[in-house]
């Protein structure tokens, strides 16, 4: 996530445009404190900062939190210093995905989208683009241009952004093994993946002291992923839990004294797992009734932090399925609703995770129409759960779009008598981005409604899964998924997860 399915991002030039095309992000930060007239009482500054944060004035809030942090630190009040530090990082992270003012958004779209007119830009920015109002200014999401292209996919078809023959190598093939699979083992065509995860942080950007708490993702055992190995871990003397490869999420947790690091911090893990293609041919008449007292049924039909069951979700789910009562057919109808109603788009995951009141990802997509792989999977799961169908958003990485692993999430729904059935609404969308036949698109999308290619690396079976020890509630960390390490330290003034994110790699070699 975080603008996930990285290989599908059209171009990295948007990063350059963020800093050159009329961007904002600091214009109020330097002047806000000078004009407040607040006394230099850190408690008062902190209180005012919280009010500004609640009012979505993130730059002003950041400046106030920073001044409170400085005063608390000078007074030796470590508890409130940490609270002000966390407030400062939270307010900064809440706005960092919205770098464009109106001029910047317009210039980004002109630079990125061939032949777009001023009228089309105005229409998009006024009525469809993701934006927020903060500190008296309308700010636009950093992927405003990519989102336009995904919604207007006929442009993408002309840009030839991917090799559909390669992407569809499992979904469209001669002698499709999906034929005649009813009643047989749905797990076929195993691929053995081996490789290395590596966190390599230059020593000159590490905090000077304190302890680094690091949660590194690892493969987890599932019905379609097994024979897991994790070996040759670095810094074993500082492991406080793990490696964990069973349960809801795979990970290893470190607590490393920074004074004990000589030079760069390099943590590696050699991993291996076997991933199976999943092909389910379900006979609706053979679907069995649910055991509604089963703990897993209860867990995966309840409302959660980001898979939220609201009255509107319930109403929409009933509208989608009409009079249909078979849970498998209902799930198929919801899958088709998602892929025909919501075009793929990137979303501001960090912002959604940090603002108060909390915005559930499923609800955000339902209300705005914007969603990427994780958000689509969470909305699919919420709609299913509202009907009493167990569902979850599962993921880690995919290697179907390219050999190099790309972060990705998809969904699973449970059908009694068959088990957890996968569906991938986002990969299904790929068929619309390429110039292929309608027959190929239909075949491709049908495959991903109840089957899945074997080019997957699963880290977690659902979003918002807890680890042990879990990430503290008050720190600024992207919590929904764990595709990259979570890194926190009480002694740092910076967002370490953001700062160190580019220093984590996953390299895998496939062997059939």
Looking at residues 362-383, what average pLDDT do you find? 97
299 is written with which tokens? 């867990």
pTM, rounded to two decimals: 0.90
Nearest to 386, CA basis, from 461, 435, 320: 320
- How many CB atoms lie under 10 A from the CB of residue 450? 23
pLDDT score recorded for residue 11: 33
Convert the pLDDT of each residue in 464-512 to its tens digit.
999 999 999 888 899 999 999 999 999 888 889 888 989 999 999 999 8
Residue 5 confidence class, pLDDT cut points 50, 70, 90: very low
Contacts with 125 (C-beta within 8 Å, 6 or more apart), sequence order: 102, 105, 106, 109, 131, 140, 144
Q: Report whether 427 contacts 189 (CB < 8 A).
A: no
Residue 165 has φ and ψ, to the nearest 5°, of: -60, -40
Tell me what percent of the residues of the chain surpass a pLDDT of 90. 85
pLDDT score recorded for residue 493: 86
303 is written with which tokens? 């409302």
Residue 357 confidence class, pLDDT cut points 50, 70, 90: confident
Residue 423 confidence class, pLDDT cut points 50, 70, 90: very high
Rg (CA), the chain: 24
Convert the pLDDT of each residue in 12-51 to its tens digit.
333 333 233 333 333 343 434 444 444 579 999 999 999 9
3-state SS assignment for residue 68: helix
| Integer CA distances (angstroms), 377 to 363, 454, 459, in order | 12, 18, 15
Cα–Cα distance for residue pair 375/380, rounded to 1 Å: 9
Convert the pLDDT of each residue in 312-343 to its tens digit.
999 999 999 999 999 999 999 999 999 999 99
Cα–Cα distance for residue pair 387/389, rounded to 1 Å: 6
pLDDT score recorded for residue 494: 87
Convert the pLDDT of each residue in 287-305 to its tens digit.
999 999 999 999 999 999 9
Average pLDDT of the residues of the chain? 91
Q: Report whether 7 contacts 404 (CB < 8 A).
A: yes
Residue with tokens 């004009």: 35
209 is written with which tokens? 């002291």
Q: How wide is the angle at C-alpha 141 spanned by C-alphas 34 and 347, nearest 5°?
A: 130
Cα–Cα distance for residue pair 257/248, rounded to 1 Å: 28
């Amino acid at each position: 996530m975080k603008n996930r399915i990285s290989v599908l991002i059209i171009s990295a030039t948007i990063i350059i445009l963020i800093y050159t095309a009329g961007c904002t992000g600091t214009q109020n930060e330097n002047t806000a404190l000078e004009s407040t007239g607040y006394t230099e009482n850190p408690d008062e500054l902190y209180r005012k900062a919280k009010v500004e944060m609640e009012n979505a004035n993130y730059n002003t809030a950041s400046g106030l939190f920073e001044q409170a942090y400085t005063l608390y630190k000078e007074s030796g009040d470590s508890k409130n210093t940490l609270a002000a530090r966390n407030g400062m990082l939270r307010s900064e992270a809440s706005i960092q995905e919205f770098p464009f003012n109106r001029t910047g958004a317009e210039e980004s779209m002109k630079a990125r989208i061939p032949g777009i007119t001023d009228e089309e830009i105005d229409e998009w920015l006024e009525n469809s683009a993701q934006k927020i109002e903060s500190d008296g200014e309308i700010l636009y999401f950093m992927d405003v241009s990519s989102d336009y292209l995904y919604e207007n996919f006929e442009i993408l078809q002309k840009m030839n952004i991917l090799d559909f023959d390669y992407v569809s190598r499992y979904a469209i093939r001669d002698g499709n093994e999906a034929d005649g699979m009813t009643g047989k083992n749905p797990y076929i065509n195993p691929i053995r993946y081996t490789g290395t995860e590596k966190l390599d942080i230059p020593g000159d950007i590490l905090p000077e002291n304190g302890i680094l708490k690091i949660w590194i993702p690892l493969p987890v055992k599932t019905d379609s992923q097994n024979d897991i190995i994790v070996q040759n871990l670095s810094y074993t003397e500082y492991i406080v839990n793990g490696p964990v490869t069973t349960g809801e999420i795979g990970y290893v947790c470190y607590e490393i004294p920074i004074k004990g690091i000589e030079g760069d911090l390099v943590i590696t893990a050699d991993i291996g797992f076997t991933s199976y293609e999943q092909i389910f041919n379900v006979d609706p008449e053979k679907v069995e009734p649910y055991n509604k007292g089963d703990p897993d049924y209860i867990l995966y039909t309840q409302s959660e932090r980001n898979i939220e069951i609201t009255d509107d979700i319930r109403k929409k789910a009933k509208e989608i399925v009409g009079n249909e009562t078979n849970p498998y057919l209902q799930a198929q109808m919801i899958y088709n609703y998602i892929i025909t109603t919501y075009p793929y788009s990137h979303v501001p995951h960090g912002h959604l995770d940090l603002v108060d009141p909390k915005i559930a990802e499923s609800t955000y997509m339902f209300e705005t129409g914007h969603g990427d792989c994780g958000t689509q999977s969470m909305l699919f799961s919420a709609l299913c759960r509202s009907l009493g169908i167990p569902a979850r958003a599962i993921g880690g990485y995919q290697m179907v779009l390219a050999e190099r692993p790309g972060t990705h999430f998809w969904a699973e729904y449970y059908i009694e008598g068959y088990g957890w059935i996968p569906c991938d609404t986002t990969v299904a969308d790929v068929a619309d981005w390429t110039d292929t036949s309608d027959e190929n698109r239909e075949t491709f999308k049908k495959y991903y409604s109840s089957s899945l290619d074997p080019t997957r690396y699963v880290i977690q079976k659902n979003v918002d899964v807890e680890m042990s020890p879990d990430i503290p509630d008050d720190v600024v960390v992207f919590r929904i998924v764990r595709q990259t390490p979570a890194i926190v330290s009480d002694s740092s003034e910076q967002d370490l997860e953001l700062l160190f994110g580019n220093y984590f790699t996953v390299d895998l070699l496939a062997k059939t």
